[in-house]
Structure 1
Amino acid sequence: MIKNGKYFVPSLDDDRDLKDLLRQLSAAGAGRPVDKDGFPMGPWTPELLATAISEIEANQAGIDLRTVQLWYQDNEKGISTENIRWLARVFGCDDPTATSQWQKELISAQARLAAKRRAQRKKSIQRDPPESSDAAVKSNYDLEADFPQGLSSDKLLAPKWRFSLARISDGLFSRASPLDLPASVFASTVALGLSSHFLGIHSIVFPQANGVLKQVGYLWAPNWTVLFMVFMPLYLAFVSDLVIFWKSAGRSQLGHKDEEKKGGDIWMRKVEAFSVTYWSAFLVCLPIATALQWIDRCLTPLLTGDAGDYPIEWARLAIERPEVISIPEAIAFTGLAYLYMGVTFFFFFVGLILLFTLVSDFWELAREVEPWADGQNQRQIYRVGLKLMDGIFRCCILGLLIAICMKLQSTFMLSSAASIVSWMASDFLSVLGDHEKLNEWFEYSMPTNYSSLLIVLATCTVFLYGSVRIHAAFSLQGEVVRGRYRRKRGLMLAVIALLVIVYVLIGAIAGFSILLCIGLMAAAYGLIYPSIATWRATDEGDKQIVS
């Protein structure tokens, strides 16, 4: 029978469940256009059925291919009431009477499927009594059509709250505004800077062994000012923005729309898979890098009156200048400063772990998408992956700038220069032949060099992992996508390599300040460039990426 130029199959009105009925109608080609001889033009496939539903004029939202694919699988997924409406129009050939009959038949078939699944669970529960209570509750809420609006099985079966460092860490970056955490870090830095001014240690010159008056004030140390006032807040803001995007939009754009309600749980399971890593970062940053370093570098020298292998700076100034700041004041201020440093750097490593988790999640989702089945899916993977890589690139640039700040200050304290500005200016002019380079270096212990090296290694590891994984995901989508990303990745690698070279050569060669200036300009360009590239990809991607 033909209706509106399509092959019509009358309502069967039998005892088949929804899965069997859908397979039979698809094989028969019900609702498909007919050829000149009146035969249907082949059976329905998930791709063809998804296209037909999306082309219905009244269906503004369309439908995802993976949703239709799950209809054909032998699982417990039903079909929502809204999608049954569109499916009935397809099988009813856009005839109002036939559509009404098929809508009634599909709803009845869905009820039979639900009853069949519940009966199977009941038998399973009887064979496995210990899990009967949970299974009985869950059995009533597995099918999509069985959920009342606004109600989910997650709310019914939600576990009791338990302490999880991984969940808390994720919440710091994603449960509020992306500016909350950066603003808190910035405000704390301002508070410490004002406190140093009130204590009189914000700008202090102290005579070194060579007689040069060296600037050792708190506000002159870039690893306490520029690092925590500029680079760290920007880093935290970029990580927060990226995690919020991924949880709210990124996963749903790549994942199955029927699983959006469960997306948060899937993400949290992946976050909690790194629980040991979060605890490792916590133990390294607070008990070791904070408490032990403060005791060794500040508390012990202040109590004994002997700086030992460390130079005199604002943290140990009370040893030589008790009239400026007393020992108790110095102990209290340095304790707060080091505690703030440890907590902030814990946030830094949490950000790296989240970026690693995010890339891993993207890779797993991208592998499940058919590369050429749907051109829209291909473009979506490219856009989402490009946004993720841009954010990771920015974060890694800022991570390397943080390490550079730390090494600049520690290397300056080993030099015989009067201030960090004059030290860098002298190095710059010495290459031009207009100034004599200072060659005298002091023998002090500088554990900050080791800490900054760890930051460089961790940052580069996350960047390389993200670059490789996202490149692999793009490779699954074809040569066009892979070629566009390859050009962009080359520039990213060049900027990261330049910053690593700058870090390594600080204080090691004459003229490192010139290379530092070039690196800072490249970093500034790199922080802006990903946004420009994303706009261009959005404008031109549809023209160059084809399905």
Structure 2
Amino acid sequence: MSGKLLKNDKYFIPPEDTSENFKELFARLTAEGAGRPLDKDGYPDGPWTPETLATAIAGIQANTGGIDVRTVQVWFQDNDNGIANDNIRWLARIFGCDDPVAAAKWQKQLIASRDRLSAERRAKRRTTAFQDAPRSSETGDQIAPVNPIRQRHPSILAVGTSTMLTGANNIYVIILVWASWSILGMSAIVFGLADVTYMTEGKVEKQVGIFSSPAWTLEKLVLIPTYLIVTSKGVIAWCNHRCAFENQTGTETWETRVSAFSPAFYLVLAVSVFVIFGLQWYGTYLQPLLDGPNTDIEPNWIRVATNPIELMPPGLIIGISLYAGLYIGAVYWLCFSSLLLLYIAAHDLTRTGNEAKAAERTLYEVERHEVARVLITALYRSIICGALINTIIKVDALYFVSDAENFLAWIKHDIFAAFGFDSRGWNWLSDGQLASFTTIIFLLTITSVAYFGIYRIKLSIEAAEKRQLVSHAALITAPTFMIVSFGTLGMFRGFSLVFLASLVVGIWQLLSPSLRFSTRTERIS
């Protein structure tokens, strides 16, 4: 047993750099019983079978979702199917005998072997396509493309956006969001906008600096990056899953599917540039700044050249407001684009299921059930995160038209007033409460698109499996509460209690979504 060791009372085979693809490596390890318990003589207790390996993976404490035995059977079969990232993680723990260092090394080897399998499949598909293609020299005629759809030129905007948000370097997008905000933060400090105050008509010194605005701190630095992580994780999971199906059946590539939605990507870009940036910047910042002290709009950290604040000349602050407006437009473009990609993944999942050949469909449906859960969870979390973002934006806007001295004091006064501990409470500085058009559109867009994607997947999976994938109540209860809470913000004394409850529910759902998915049967009947 040269090179073989015992680890945690299990048969351990150290990982080695080989040229084996996943199927070859997996077949060798399961035949030799890598990770199997030892018998009384110190030998592995036989080779792995689909049933014993599925039981071992399901017994891993961190694997709360279990695993379908048919998924494991696919690995044992001589086919071109690959393996999902989560399942590589569980296999690495099995072959690593529950040793963290050994598991990490095996995970690296398994991923490399899967990549080799994917490369072999692509090469095989190209060779088959070349051999099957009719030759013009044999017929004497010019041959038209067999599948014009696959000849579609990829959309630079659509494919580029997909690569940026879901590619290997997608973390740089979040770093860019933070870095761009830091320019605003440094500008606010340099020009004295970080801690701006002014005296209201009621003789209250009101804080309107950038660091006292949750819409410019909590939302931009925490919630927006969280939203991008949630959406990109779902799309990446689907792209990793569809590679095996794509290479095996010759279906359209992910880039081709994304390119088919090219008009939607251009629409998102146009809305972000002309509406979210252009119209909102002009109406909210540029026009009041040009009006100067004569404007009736309550000031914030950007509108510091308006009445009653004349901290700096309009020309300088207009430049800062232009950058801030571009930043808002770019951030929302990222949010809408990532949501669109997540919907395309949901749309793609249902289409590829229909395109699978009859002989392949049983195997494909097993893996599709698992990735469907990941996509639905990502879409659900995007709704929750979108509700949190828009709740923060609306509360922030309401604060600027209240007579409270700072944001935390405003929340405190409102809570005390609800329980009768503060008779003064708070009042509005202007006649009407500020309703943000952007927040309403943002919330409605995220909710409607995400639910459309959720129910597209849900209905497709349930039609194939003849069982409910996840209950309607689990999908709508928490989002409905948060959306109703959003609508009641500022409508009555004590709304802060609803606001805080909405935050708690939202954070809880982001960390641990209350979605209980049905599990597939453990054995094929």
Cα displacement (A) at 1:385:
0.2
- 1:342 matched to 2:325: no
Residues 454-465 of structure 1 mapped to structure 2, 5 A cutoff: 454-465=441-452
**Corresponding residue to 1:520 among 489, 492, 503:** 503
Q: Output one character per residue of 1:60-86: Cα deviation in whole Å (capped at 9) or x when no partner.
A: 562269xxxxxxxxxxxxxxxx99xxx
Q: Please list every run of 5 or more consecutive structure 2 residues that lacks an aligned counterpart in the other structure.
A: 1-71, 82-119, 122-126
**Corresponding residue to 1:478 among 465, 468, 481:** 465
Cα gap change, 1:513/1:369 in structure 2, threshold over 3 Å: closer, same or farther?
farther
Counterparts of 2:426 and 2:318, CA distance in 1: 34
Which amino acid in structure 2 is aligned with residue 365 of structure 1? T
Cα displacement (A) at 1:293:
2.6
- The question of whether the paired residues in 2 share the 8 Å contact of 1:309 and 1:444 is answered with no
Cα displacement (A) at 1:166:
1.8
Which amino acid in structure 2 is aligned with residue 331 of structure 1? I
Name the structure 2 match of 1:102.
Answer: none
Cα gap change, 1:368/1:62 in structure 2, threshold over 3 Å: closer, same or farther?
same
Cα displacement (A) at 1:114:
9.0
Counterparts of 1:411 and 1:125, CA distance in 2: 75
Cα gap change, 1:355/1:114 in structure 2, threshold over 3 Å: closer, same or farther?
closer
Name the structure 1 match of 2:182.
Answer: 190
Residues 137-156 of structure 1 mapped to structure 2, 5 A cutoff: none
Which amino acid in structure 2 is aligned with residue 486 of structure 1? V
Residues 399-414 of structure 1 mapped to structure 2, 5 A cutoff: 399-414=386-401
Cα displacement (A) at 1:367:
3.3
Counterparts of 1:429 and 1:395, CA distance in 2: 33
> What SS does structure 1 have at the residue aligned with 2:287?
helix
- 1:165 matched to 2:148: no
State the percentage of identical aligned residues.
21
Residues 25-64 of structure 1 mapped to structure 2, 5 A cutoff: 62-63=78-79
Counterparts of 2:419 and 2:287, CA distance in 1: 44
Residues 391-470 of structure 1 mapped to structure 2, 5 A cutoff: 391-436=378-423, 438=425, 440-443=427-430, 449-470=436-457
Cα gap change, 1:60/1:414 in structure 2, threshold over 3 Å: closer, same or farther?
same
Cα gap change, 1:234/1:123 in structure 2, threshold over 3 Å: closer, same or farther?
same
Cα displacement (A) at 1:222:
1.3
Q: Output one character per residue of 1:106-165: Cα deviation in whole Å (capped at 9) or x when no partner.
A: xxxx99x9989747x656661xx4x57xx6xx99xxxxxxxxxxxxxx9xx996xx8732
TM-score, normalised via structure 1 length = 0.66
Cα gap change, 1:380/1:410 in structure 2, threshold over 3 Å: closer, same or farther?
same
- The question of whether the paired residues in 2 share the 8 Å contact of 1:201 and 1:218 is answered with yes
How many residues align? The count is 410
Residues 11-410 of structure 1 mapped to structure 2, 5 A cutoff: 62-63=78-79, 118=134, 126=141, 129=142, 164-247=156-239, 249-252=240-243, 255-259=245-249, 266-306=253-293, 308-320=295-307, 324-369=311-356, 376-410=363-397
Counterparts of 2:387 and 2:503, CA distance in 1: 11
Cα gap change, 1:533/1:446 in structure 2, threshold over 3 Å: closer, same or farther?
closer
Q: Output one character per residue of 1:495-541: Cα deviation in whole Å (capped at 9) or x when no partner.
A: 111110111010012222112222212112211224x969xx7xx94
Which amino acid in structure 2 is aligned with residue 325 of structure 1? M
Cα gap change, 1:297/1:323 in structure 2, threshold over 3 Å: closer, same or farther?
closer
Cα gap change, 1:512/1:543 in structure 2, threshold over 3 Å: closer, same or farther?
same
Cα displacement (A) at 1:324:
4.1
- 1:503 matched to 2:486: yes
Counterparts of 2:522 and 2:474, CA distance in 1: 21
Cα displacement (A) at 1:447:
7.0
Counterparts of 2:284 and 2:131, CA distance in 1: 71
Cα displacement (A) at 1:448:
5.9
Cα displacement (A) at 1:174:
2.2
- The question of whether the paired residues in 2 share the 8 Å contact of 1:428 and 1:513 is answered with yes
Counterparts of 1:501 and 1:418, CA distance in 2: 27
- The question of whether the paired residues in 2 share the 8 Å contact of 1:201 and 1:325 is answered with no
- The question of whether the paired residues in 1 share the 8 Å contact of 2:413 and 2:426 is answered with no
Counterparts of 2:351 and 2:264, CA distance in 1: 20
- The question of whether the paired residues in 2 share the 8 Å contact of 1:238 and 1:391 is answered with yes
TM-score, normalised via structure 2 length = 0.69
Cα gap change, 1:118/1:163 in structure 2, threshold over 3 Å: closer, same or farther?
closer
Cα displacement (A) at 1:440:
2.6
Counterparts of 1:55 and 1:202, CA distance in 2: 60
Cα displacement (A) at 1:386:
0.1
Cα gap change, 1:412/1:500 in structure 2, threshold over 3 Å: closer, same or farther?
same
- The question of whether the paired residues in 2 share the 8 Å contact of 1:311 and 1:413 is answered with yes
Let me know the Cα RMSD of the aligned residues: 3.7
Name the structure 2 match of 1:103.
Answer: none
> What SS does structure 1 have at the residue aligned with 2:303?
helix
Cα displacement (A) at 1:342:
0.8
Counterparts of 1:474 and 1:330, CA distance in 2: 54
Cα gap change, 1:116/1:512 in structure 2, threshold over 3 Å: closer, same or farther?
closer
